[in-house]
Chains A and B, each alone.
Chain A
Amino acid sequence: MTRLLTLLFLLLAGPALAQAPDPYAQLAGDGYAEIEAGVAGLAASGDPRAGVILSALSDGRLLVRPSDKALLIRQGAGVVDARTGAAAPDDPALKPVRANNRVRRGIEAAQGQLNLVSPDPAKRREAADAVFKARDAAALPALDTALAREKDAGVKQVMSEARAAVLLAKPGTAESEKLASLPAIQARGDGDAMGILRGLGADPSEAVRAAAGRGIAAIETRLAILGALQNVWYGISLGSVLLLAAIGLAITFGVMGIINMAHGEMVMLGAYTTYLVQEAIRTKAPALFPWSLAISIPCAFLVAGLVGVLIERFIIRFLYGRPLETLLATFGVSLVLQQAVRSLFGPTNREVGAPAFMSGAFDFYGLSITWGRMWIILFSLAVFLGLLFVLRKTSFGLKTRAVTQNRRMAAAMGIRTPYVDALTFGLGSGIAGIAGVALSQIDNVSPNLGQGYIIDSFLVVVFGGVGNLWGTLVAALTLGVVNKLAEPYIGAVLAKIGLLIFIILFIQKRPRGLFALKGRAVES
């Protein structure tokens, strides 16, 4: 009788014992390994609440009640039971389920499996990418169903790549199936594909190894070409930053001939103006945040321009024709401005947020291009053309050129030269301020911001030829591209040293830079 009962009990309990451990209990467990297993189990269980629970876990809203290890989700002000979705009493003892990189990787893979059948094609593509990265064999059935149902060609391609990646990573895949999967990976042709193919180097099958080797060779050539193009792009991007930093100096130093050591601080003031504008927008009108940079541009121009005019009126005016004294005085001004900002805002960095259109990257025929850098390149060109227009086509520009070419003649023609001097210096400083708006997106907004750019700015202006705006453009782009082409081969430190040596030699040969101005005004 007892034996019969035991048998009955075993028969009843058998299926329950053979079942996988409860993912809810695992999620409420301690170690990251257990939580990760819970995530995978939940995704595989087909539980309809899985998606909600996983997104709560990745946001840190999944809580565990220490008394009975029940899982709860924080929703708005209240708490709901994770298993049922019913409202539950809030409790200060609730502890969030903790996630580290290991758990987060698990969540990404699990969400990939769940989202494969999402109605939104962008979500499906993301999900397929996640499966591609995770290469988890458990996702294979879901992937097959999704592939059969998929209509969108782009998403379908990513899915078949993901399927190929999973098959190649799964132990025990047949040789023929592996060989059939390889072309999809090779066609993808990026670094990730390369990683998968490299991973096949130890495959038992000769044919798979050979095919993978051919794939690697094909991708390598492609990546080498792309890499070179990418470096040129990085160079243009660095050049555009140099151009932005130097273009204001091309006015104050290039056109007016003032050695302005405080130029970097004008850039810094522009960056801090951006910070202040953003802070004001954050507290007063958060809806305007995407426009904060556009609003900062005129503000930064005015602030830096005004400080520039003040410096010209109160210091530089008395030192015209005495370059050494100007250098020392403006160096002093730069120290004063730095310490003033440090006292006002503190020595630590200030956070300037990036609007959505400035963050992230996009793929352009295999080149990865970051949005922020692209906008900065366009912006620097716009500033350059704008400045060119002001100097060439406006009456103010005409007066500026007249004063710098022949001051006494200009004065005789009725131009108020001191007035033009002040405004020109203000213009150069204001442009530096505008550069600060852009640089706040890629560099630290700290009192030392300007220090990093002053040497480079002088290099660009001198290299391009003092007094020549086009020279500044060409010089900035040349230095940027040369630097970035050299960097992958000799490292960032040597590339910088090499560049400096190159410029020293160049200036020995052509003291007036790339595009030297000619004429009597220059000779005198």
Chain B
Amino acid sequence: MKTWKTWSSAAALAAGLALGTLSTGAARAEETIKVGILHSLSGTMAISETTLKDVMLMLIAEQNAKGGVLGKKLEPVVVDPASNWPLFAEKARELISKDKVSAVFGCWTSVSRKSVLPVFKELDNILFYPVQYEGEESERNVFYTGAAPNQQAIPAVDYLMSEDGGGAKRWVLEGTDYVYPRTTNKILEAYLKSKGVAAEDIMINYTPFGFSDWQTEVSKIKAFGSAGKKTAVVSTINGDANVPFYKELGNQGIKATDIPVVAFSVGEEELAGIDAKPLVGHLAAWNYFESIKTPENEEFIKKWQAFKKNPKATTNDPMEASYIGFNMWVKAVEKAGTTDPDKVIAALPGIEQKNLTGGTAQMLPNHHITKPVFIGEIEANGQFDVVWKTDKLIPGEAWSKQLDGSKDLEADWVKLNCGNYNTKTKKCGGA
């Protein structure tokens, strides 16, 4: 018994000592502001996410060269969740509890965002999410700087229906089988039907992740397209599966003038892996293209290529979203005068930041931002030629107006302090 007591008091002493060192450590950490970067550097998502880590490092270095934030230098803390969804939650916890970061920039796939959500709520920190996604979410701790469906999918479909876009009457919705394509396609299907497209003129198809044998799918599209009506394909195919898909389109001779394909996940980065010549004229809808000529964009590309020491390094939409998110955070911290997450969250709505492609993005009370929408056609050099753009910035909708469960919901963290306020029942808490 006595030994136990001795031991426990020794343990308490040791704990006290450890606490002491910790607090001195914390005191020293006060000199910098830590910023967490939570992007996969290995595994399947490394192809897309590694660039975002690099962009964040570049932005932080640049901000430090300007004198940091609130007179303190920023210190990036990079972790690798390795494309492993549960590991995202663990690493997020590590960043917030152990490294005491003031904000986290990260995630790509929706499933990784969903897996870190409880951590950010529990530990009350801020996540900036820079990728276009399916919407149907608005969380107090998350700021969505990528596009919501109404800022990408719906304008793209509008363009294809227009005279300039070819006046499509028949639609193939082709996607990878997971939450983003399924939700987006549900929204698009409802939207198309509201525009008078008959159910037999819509074909919805899903393929597994990393699908590589597209022969049957492409010939199905070809057959569907030969019904005497102008046909278009809306592709929510994700990641690696795109390259074999486009190769098969080229091989089976489906040209953009016959059946145009508009993609929501194909950017400059993905095209770098294919010979773009057979794809000329296929489309992509984004809020940013590298080829858009503005002074801000040219400067950004120059800095990026210098940072990567590669004169051919490409830029893409999620990189711009990271840029906007980071600068908004810096402005909000300066406005709040502190890095305390609660105060920064309160300061963020209303913050404005210039887009790289013209116009000024504004953080909305629903934690989404306003964005311009561009439709680009693939050019032979793997870049996009912008053929259409919205005449004004479009505010991001957290809840789609097309879906039954969500059209009555409203997200407003400023007035209502609620992410899913039901305008029918006048209650916070969903449908």
User: Most chain-A Cβ atoms within 10 A of its Cβ — which of B222, B251, B256, B260?
Assistant: B251
Residue B334 interfacial (CB < 8 Å): no
Binds A, one of B66-74, B202-210, B404-412, B414-422: B202-210
- The one of A196, A346, A370, A445 in contact with B251, judged by C-beta atoms closer than 8 angstroms, is A370
Contact between chains at B226 and A192 (CB < 8 Å): yes
Nearest Cβ in chain A — how far from B371, in angstroms? 22
Residue B213 interfacial (CB < 8 Å): yes
- The one of B42, B165, B253, B283 in contact with A339, judged by C-beta atoms closer than 8 angstroms, is B42
- The one of A98, A190, A354, A493 in contact with B207, judged by C-beta atoms closer than 8 angstroms, is A493
Give every chain B residue within 8 A of A234 (Cβ-Cβ).
213, 215-216, 219
User: Most chain-B Cβ atoms within 10 A of its Cβ — which of A102, A350, A353, A360?
Assistant: A102
Residue B338 interfacial (CB < 8 Å): no
Residue B306 interfacial (CB < 8 Å): no
Residue A199 interfacial (CB < 8 Å): yes
Contact between chains at A191 and B269 (CB < 8 Å): no
> Which residue of chain A has the shortest Cβ distance to B213 in the bound complex?
A238
**Which residues of chain B from 236 to 251 have a CB within 8 Å of any chain A CB?**
240, 243-244, 247-248, 250-251
- The one of B223, B275, B278 in contact with A191, judged by C-beta atoms closer than 8 angstroms, is B223
User: Most chain-B Cβ atoms within 10 A of its Cβ — which of A195, A346, A360, A448?
Assistant: A448
The range of chain B's interface size is: 35 or more
- The one of B46, B244, B256, B272 in contact with A442, judged by C-beta atoms closer than 8 angstroms, is B244
Residue A444 interfacial (CB < 8 Å): yes
Contact between chains at B385 and A348 (CB < 8 Å): no
Contact between chains at A349 and B165 (CB < 8 Å): no
- The one of B164, B210, B272 in contact with A351, judged by C-beta atoms closer than 8 angstroms, is B272
> Which residue of chain A has the shortest Cβ distance to B217 in the bound complex?
A492
Contact between chains at B47 and A349 (CB < 8 Å): yes
Give every chain A residue within 8 A of B3 (Cβ-Cβ).
none
Give every chain B residue within 8 A of A237 (Cβ-Cβ).
213, 215
Give every chain A residue within 8 A of B270 (Cβ-Cβ).
349
In the bound assembly, the distance between CA atoms of A395 and B166 in angstroms comes to: 65
Chain B 259-280 near chain A by CB (<8 Å), digits 1 or 0? 0100000000110111100100
Give every chain A residue within 8 A of B177 (Cβ-Cβ).
493
Residue B23 interfacial (CB < 8 Å): no
Do A347 and B164 form a contact, CB below 8 Å, given A101-B256, A443-B243? no
Chain B 368-382 near chain A by CB (<8 Å), digits 1 or 0? 000000000100000
Do A191 and B222 form a contact, CB below 8 Å, given A349-B243, A368-B252, A491-B205? yes
Contact between chains at B252 and A361 (CB < 8 Å): yes
Residue A230 interfacial (CB < 8 Å): yes
Residue B163 interfacial (CB < 8 Å): yes
Give every chain A residue within 8 A of B50 (Cβ-Cβ).
346-347
Give every chain B residue within 8 A of A472 (Cβ-Cβ).
none
Nearest Cβ in chain B — how far from A514, in angstroms? 22
Give every chain A residue within 8 A of B252 (Cβ-Cβ).
361, 368, 370
Give every chain A residue within 8 A of B191 (Cβ-Cβ).
none
Residue A446 interfacial (CB < 8 Å): yes
Give every chain A residue within 8 A of B295 (Cβ-Cβ).
none
Contact between chains at B258 and A133 (CB < 8 Å): yes
Nearest Cβ in chain B — how far from A57, in angstroms? 13
- The one of B41, B165, B240, B253 in contact with A361, judged by C-beta atoms closer than 8 angstroms, is B253
Give every chain B residue within 8 A of A199 (Cβ-Cβ).
228-229
Residue B281 interfacial (CB < 8 Å): yes
Contact between chains at A492 and B207 (CB < 8 Å): yes
Contact between chains at A108 and B227 (CB < 8 Å): no
Give every chain A residue within 8 A of B194 (Cβ-Cβ).
none
- The one of B41, B220, B269 in contact with A488, judged by C-beta atoms closer than 8 angstroms, is B220
Chain A 91-121 near chain B by CB (<8 Å), digits 1 or 0? 0000000101110110010000000000000
- The one of B43, B46, B164 in contact with A102, judged by C-beta atoms closer than 8 angstroms, is B164
Residue A194 interfacial (CB < 8 Å): yes
Nearest Cβ in chain A — how far from B205, in angstroms? 7
Contact between chains at A448 and B244 (CB < 8 Å): no
Summed over the interface, the residue pairs from A and B with CB atoms below 8 Å come to a total of: 157
In the bound assembly, the distance between CA atoms of A100 and B270 in angstroms comes to: 21
Contact between chains at B272 and A101 (CB < 8 Å): no
> Which residue of chain B has the shortest Cβ distance to A497 in the bound complex?
B208
Residue A496 interfacial (CB < 8 Å): yes
Contact between chains at B228 and A196 (CB < 8 Å): yes
Contact between chains at B251 and A351 (CB < 8 Å): no
Nearest Cβ in chain A — how far from B265, in angstroms? 14
**Which residues of chain B from 277 to 291 have a CB within 8 Å of any chain A CB?**
278, 281, 283
Do A354 and B44 form a contact, CB below 8 Å, given A360-B253, A370-B252? no
Contact between chains at B385 and A108 (CB < 8 Å): no
In the bound assembly, the distance between CA atoms of A338 and B47 in angstroms comes to: 12
Contact between chains at A195 and B227 (CB < 8 Å): yes
In the bound assembly, the distance between CA atoms of A342 and B225 in angstroms comes to: 39
Give every chain B residue within 8 A of A446 (Cβ-Cβ).
47, 240, 273
Residue A241 interfacial (CB < 8 Å): yes
Nearest Cβ in chain A — how far from B291, in angstroms? 12
Residue A55 interfacial (CB < 8 Å): no
- The one of A100, A351, A487 in contact with B274, judged by C-beta atoms closer than 8 angstroms, is A351
Nearest Cβ in chain B — how far from A232, in angstroms? 11
Residue A157 interfacial (CB < 8 Å): no
Give every chain B residue within 8 A of A498 (Cβ-Cβ).
none
Contact between chains at A198 and B228 (CB < 8 Å): yes
Residue B387 interfacial (CB < 8 Å): yes
Do A444 and B207 form a contact, CB below 8 Å, given A101-B260, A198-B228? no
Give every chain B residue within 8 A of A487 (Cβ-Cβ).
216-217
In the bound assembly, the distance between CA atoms of A101 and B427 in angstroms comes to: 48
Residue B257 interfacial (CB < 8 Å): yes
Do A361 and B251 form a contact, CB below 8 Å, given A349-B273, A496-B208? yes
Residue A160 interfacial (CB < 8 Å): no
Contact between chains at B208 and A342 (CB < 8 Å): no
Do A104 and B215 form a contact, CB below 8 Å, given A347-B50, A370-B251, A446-B273? no
Do A493 and B227 form a contact, CB below 8 Å, given A32-B164, A101-B260? no
In the bound assembly, the distance between CA atoms of A361 and B248 in angstroms comes to: 10
Residue A33 interfacial (CB < 8 Å): yes
> Which residue of chain B has the shortest Cβ distance to A199 in the bound complex?
B228
In the bound assembly, the distance between CA atoms of A102 and B385 in angstroms comes to: 14
User: Most chain-A Cβ atoms within 10 A of its Cβ — which of B43, B229, B260, B272?
Assistant: B43
In the bound assembly, the distance between CA atoms of A443 and B244 in angstroms comes to: 5
Chain A 203-244 near chain B by CB (<8 Å), digits 1 or 0? 000000000000000000001000100110010011001000
Chain B 4-46 near chain A by CB (<8 Å), digits 1 or 0? 0000000000000000000000000000000000000111101
Q: Can you offer 30 A-B residue contacts whose CB atoms are under 8 A?
A: A31-B164, A32-B164, A101-B257, A101-B377, A102-B166, A191-B223, A191-B225, A191-B226, A194-B227, A194-B228, A195-B225, A231-B216, A238-B215, A347-B41, A347-B46, A347-B47, A348-B47, A359-B251, A361-B251, A368-B219, A368-B252, A368-B253, A442-B212, A443-B212, A446-B273, A448-B43, A488-B216, A493-B177, A493-B207, A496-B208
- Known pairs A101-B257, A101-B281, A452-B212; list 13 more (Cβ under 8 Å): A101-B166, A101-B283, A133-B258, A191-B222, A234-B219, A237-B215, A241-B213, A361-B252, A372-B251, A444-B212, A445-B273, A446-B273, A448-B44
